[in-house]
Structure 1
Amino acid sequence: MQLTGKVILITGAKGGLGSFVTNAFLAAGAQVAGVSRSIRDADFDHSSFHAFPAQLSTAGKSGVLVDEVFGRLGRVDAVVHLLGGYAGGRSVAETNDETFEQMLDLNLRSFFYLARAVLPRMRAQGTGRLLAIGSRAAVEPVTTAAAYSASKAALVSLVRCIALENQDAGITANVILPGAIDTPANRAAMPEGDASKWVQPEQIASLLVYLAGEGSPQLNGAVIPFYGGAL
């Protein structure tokens, strides 16, 4: 129970990866503030789970969320940002504005607004962890997914900037870059893929629990590849 007494804010707290991550933090003894557009306390049968329905598309909504979490739980020791999305299948020349903005909203702006809202409070605490899920495509871009790849690459730069700017305050920021994750949604979307080589979500969850704890203060600004068996 290495996170007993810690408050962990998890975006995208239910779903393919989110359910594994949320359960891992609950098992580690944390109080979890679970965020999703549609989420309820009953989604996780645990007294330490607290649902915060929210959409993180604007600065104002992120600020309200952070105020609510601090109001109910008193602090935030770590932000675990799982929220994201994928849209692809077209070249840069064919990518429309809606797709480009959607990728920026889901994969970049949501974390920027949330981090900007929570960082002053973490600095006042003198401690904090910011963790984000990027993508292998951030450093190994692929064709017909430029908006997705670019938004994830920008997320990596944002996380590293946060690490540099806040290392004086006991705050760390790290980003994990998984390959294909073995979730029901990915199996449905890629039925011909070799799921035996995909990243197991419980392994990502275990790493996030470690990074959120007190045992990793020198791991900061890290960009961590997590490719499973597909090297």
Structure 2
Amino acid sequence: MTLPPESGAQGAAVLVAGATSASGRAAVRALRAAGATAIAVGSDAGRLADAFGAPATDAGAGGAVPQHVCDLADFAATERLADEVRDRFGRVDGVIHLVGGWRGGSPFTAQSDADWDFLARGAITTLRNTSRAFFDDIAASPRGRFAMVSTTTLARPSAANANYQAAKAAAEAWIRSMAQGLALGQSQRKEDPAPQTSAAVVLAVKALLDDAMRAAAPERKFPGYTHVDALAARAVALFSEDAAELNGARLDLTA
């Protein structure tokens, strides 16, 4: 396995979408610890400030976390975000997509349109928009990575979670399509083909766990749950792994 000259997360500019969630905060911490510039993106400036403190005013502002407010379900807004991030940092090496949420637990005939709309917006629309807006950045980076979080339950879909699992299945199909696009872009140079340097990946979990959940139910075992810190560590590790092997992969993070 040969890694590109720039490998690992050190010095990478990585956008974390859904940064105010428990998994988003963990991803920002892990990326910064690895020497990356973690760019926190959320839908509310107040929640971003609560999670990360006062925002950085420029690309090199001390230890502050760069923050951007954006409705990622709006493609025009997402394109503006991409332009702002490029202007500010010069490039984007990675996107960790952590937008989503869960709705489920209802009988099949009670799978509501409202729940579907919520899940489609969070799991599919925001993913489509960020992947399109940042595709060229990921493809051009010597260590481009795009990662989303999905569910291991797709292997055995349930009636009670039909909306959720259908939305995640659509999102995974989109990522596989993105992966094929990245591979195709790398193979366009017939005379002097370049090594694959970019990858789109699915990180699959049964459910996520954070310290607040443990504190609220100390007697509970949470079997098979993946701690948000483990998810964050796995996302950071993607930048040190072979892109050709990663591209299009579905990585099971079940604890």
- TM-score under structure 1 length normalisation: 0.87
| Number of residue pairs aligned between Structure 1 and Structure 2 | 227
Mapped partners of 1:94, 1:2: distance in 2: 46
Q: Which has the higher contact order (CA 8 A, sep 6+)?
A: 2
Q: Residue 134 of structure 1 aligns to a residue in which SS?
A: strand
Determine the structure 2 residue equivalent to 1:43.
51
Q: Does structure 2 retain, via aligned residues, the 8 Å contact 1:138–1:156?
A: no
Mapped partners of 2:233, 2:23: distance in 1: 12
* Mapping of residues 57-76 of structure 1, within 5 Å: 57-76=73-92
Determine the structure 1 residue equivalent to 2:152.
136
Cα distance change of structure 1 residues 121 and 19 upon mapping to structure 2, 3 Å threshold = closer
Q: Does structure 1 retain, via aligned residues, the 8 Å contact 2:152–2:252?
A: yes
Q: Does structure 2 retain, via aligned residues, the 8 Å contact 1:180–1:186?
A: no
Structure 1 unaligned blocks of 5 or more: none
Q: Residue 49 of structure 1 aligns to a residue in which SS?
A: coil
Q: Residue 118 of structure 1 aligns to a residue in which SS?
A: helix
Determine the structure 2 residue equivalent to 1:11.
17
Determine the structure 2 residue equivalent to 1:223.
250
Determine the structure 1 residue equivalent to 2:37.
31
Structure having the higher Rg: 2
Q: Does structure 2 retain, via aligned residues, the 8 Å contact 1:177–1:226?
A: yes
Q: Does structure 2 retain, via aligned residues, the 8 Å contact 1:77–1:128?
A: yes
Which has the larger displacement, 81-90 or 214-223? Answer: 214-223
Could you report, residue by residue, the CA deviation over 1:100-122 in whole angstroms, capped at 9, with x for unpaired residues? 11111111111111101111333
Give yes or no for the alignment of 1:105 onto 2:132: no
Q: Does structure 1 retain, via aligned residues, the 8 Å contact 2:92–2:141?
A: no
Could you report, residue by residue, the CA deviation over 1:11-48 in whole angstroms, capped at 9, with x for unpaired residues? 11122211111100000011111111124467336726
Q: Give the drift of 1:89.
A: 2.3
Which residue identity lines up with residue 242 of structure 2 in the other structure?
S
Q: Residue 130 of structure 1 aligns to a residue in which SS?
A: strand
Q: Does structure 2 retain, via aligned residues, the 8 Å contact 1:210–1:216?
A: no
Could you report, residue by residue, the CA deviation over 1:148-203 in whole angstroms, capped at 9, with x for unpaired residues? 01111111111111111111333210001111221257569989853254212211
Mapped partners of 1:154, 1:34: distance in 2: 25
Q: Give the drift of 1:72.
A: 1.1
Q: Does structure 2 retain, via aligned residues, the 8 Å contact 1:16–1:183?
A: yes
Cα distance change of structure 1 residues 178 and 129 upon mapping to structure 2, 3 Å threshold = same
Mapped partners of 1:130, 1:25: distance in 2: 14
Could you tell me the percent identity over the aligned residues?
A: 26
Which residue identity lines up with residue 35 of structure 1 in the other structure?
V
Cα distance change of structure 1 residues 221 and 61 upon mapping to structure 2, 3 Å threshold = same
Structure 2 unaligned blocks of 5 or more: 1-6, 54-61, 187-196
Q: Residue 114 of structure 1 aligns to a residue in which SS?
A: helix
Cα distance change of structure 1 residues 89 and 221 upon mapping to structure 2, 3 Å threshold = same
Mapped partners of 2:103, 2:31: distance in 1: 29
**Structure 2 residue corresponding to 1:198, chosen from 221, 225, 231:** 225
Mapped partners of 1:121, 1:21: distance in 2: 20
